[in-house]
Amino acid sequence: MNIDVVRFFEKYDADPGLRQRLKDAENMYPGSLEIRDALLSDTMLPLAASLGLEFTLKELRAYETKKKLYF
């Protein structure tokens, strides 16, 4: 798993401003869960990259799967 995904969510959990930036970006994107990959590619991944945290959708899915299995 890409450690940048973990670091992004650590920052996300700790920083209300980051959460708001992502929410604002998502709100600008008209869509639904059927186009989740496009939404994440256009919002979360560029935001993470701006923080110096590079990861792919595949790495994000691996992180999400691991979290779901943990809980």
CB-CB contact of 36 with 29 (8 Å) = no
| pLDDT tens sequence across 40-66 | 888 899 999 999 999 999 999 999 999
Mean pLDDT for all residues in the chain: 88
The predicted pLDDT at position 52 comes to 96
| pLDDT tens sequence across 7-30 | 999 999 999 999 999 888 888 777
Burial 46-57, CB ≥16 within 10 A → b, else e:
ebbeeeebebee
The predicted pLDDT at position 35 comes to 79
The predicted pLDDT at position 70 comes to 78
pTM equals: 0.77
